[in-house]
A and B are shown apart, each in its own frame.
Chain A
């Protein structure tokens, strides 16, 4: 019984330490919201996408339901950190800034798939590929109307 109590206490302490560690990470340096104060360096990961990935077209570019489905997915998986309107929070940067909105769909897909693990964004490859493309459609839609026509292949 004593060993169990000690083990539980140790586990509780370690859990507490890990919670504190999680909160004292680099998130403090992230911009609170889109605007003149945001730090463009935070978006450097977008530049790391390989050319082949950058040039991938969104196969759901002409899917009429993709934006609505992407909005639902965003609310479920992304809004907690990026904010309900993708405006950014202390945990994660805004997705409304020019760096994101001018990025190619393939670049956004690559970042969603690979995450930015060292900066607390998990990999999202557990979402099936079509759902990640739906997310890309939604994110791009936040910066203006989606292109009407595209030669993208069907998924």
Chain B
């Protein structure tokens, strides 16, 4: 196990311990999407710690298990910042740390509208062995994952990624459309991708008492995502696409569970992706940190 990977594990378990033993929690009202984004940002001062896992099948090679930790913090009501730590295990190969991402989302309009735009900016430092499939972009296809980890990890990628998130909520339904442009900073062309999502809570009214299995705690929907080629070859040729039902369960204890089986829609896609994730929101994290440094009580 590399020291980098140990660092990831240490960070994740330390902050998970904080999450578990923190007395401050809030019932998450989280969307079920794993790839798509809607226009709802993290509440100011709250920190959400998330762990996600993706099992993927691989034709002509070894199946894999990719995983990442997310630390999502609401800086203001219009700005959310997020740190990702990524890794993967390829069966019959190895387990490696694959990179870090720093993401920022900015709400453009100060009030709610029929369509709500959010700007997304991300910097990513990853190796060629990254298998998180957190977005579909460019001409990424299943065959790219056949390279053994020992070879793939030698490639280092510094990438910026921009997204325009357009999201609407109507009669309890959320509809979201994300368009993506990504640029490897080492003289590669801009690559493009998309993600679409629709979801709805199973019940719109809240129950009079706190409950674990009430239908309003469940949000179900579907998302679809894939690549759109690059600046030189824009379109669907040599791209992969996925369709995935999604389900989130917001527990009264402050935890959110997500599950999403994904299915490849063409021969370039992995046939099956099984994703799941667990998240916990810590309210008042900013205040806690501020108090540590002598801020307001």
Contacts and interface: CB of A to CB of B under 8 A. Distances in A.
Secondary structure at the A interface, as helix, strand, loop or mixed, is helix
B286 A8 contact: no
A148 interface: no
Contacts of B71: 15
A114 B112 CA distance: 5
A115 interface: yes
B111 interface: yes
Contact of B210 (A72, A114, A115, A117): A72
Given A7-B102, A65-B208, 13 more contacts: A4-B7, A8-B100, A10-B102, A11-B102, A19-B285, A21-B75, A22-B45, A69-B206, A77-B27, A125-B112, A130-B205, A131-B216, A134-B205
Nearest to B171: A129
Interface in B66-88: 71, 73-79, 81, 83
Contacts, number: 144
B296 A90 contact: yes
B107 to A, nearest CB: 7
B286 A68 contact: no
A34 interface: no
B147 interface: no
Interface bin, chain B: 35 or more
Contacts of A119: 77
B29 A3 contact: no
A93 B84 CA distance: 34
Contacts of A126: 29, 31, 38, 40, 169, 174
Interface stretch (B130-138, B182-190, B233-241, B287-295): B287-295
Contacts of B44: 22, 120, 122
Contact of A76 (B4, B26, B45, B171): B26
A18 B283 contact: no
Nearest to B201: A128
11 contacts: A1-B3, A4-B97, A4-B100, A19-B285, A19-B286, A22-B75, A76-B210, A77-B26, A115-B112, A128-B201, A128-B204
Residue from A16, A22, A80 with most neighbouring chain B CB atoms (10 Å): A22
A142 interface: no
Interface of A: 1, 3-4, 7-8, 10-11, 14-16, 18-23, 25, 28, 65, 68-70, 72-73, 76-77, 80, 90-91, 113-123, 125-131, 134
B64 to A, nearest CB: 21
A55 B208 CA distance: 26
A19 B43 contact: no
A32 B206 CA distance: 30
A148 to B, nearest CB: 19
Contacts of B74: 22, 122
Nearest to A122: B77
Contact of B208 (A3, A8, A69): A69
Nearest to A71: B208
A121 B75 CA distance: 12
Contacts of B24: 80
A80 B77 CA distance: 15
Interface in B139-156: 156
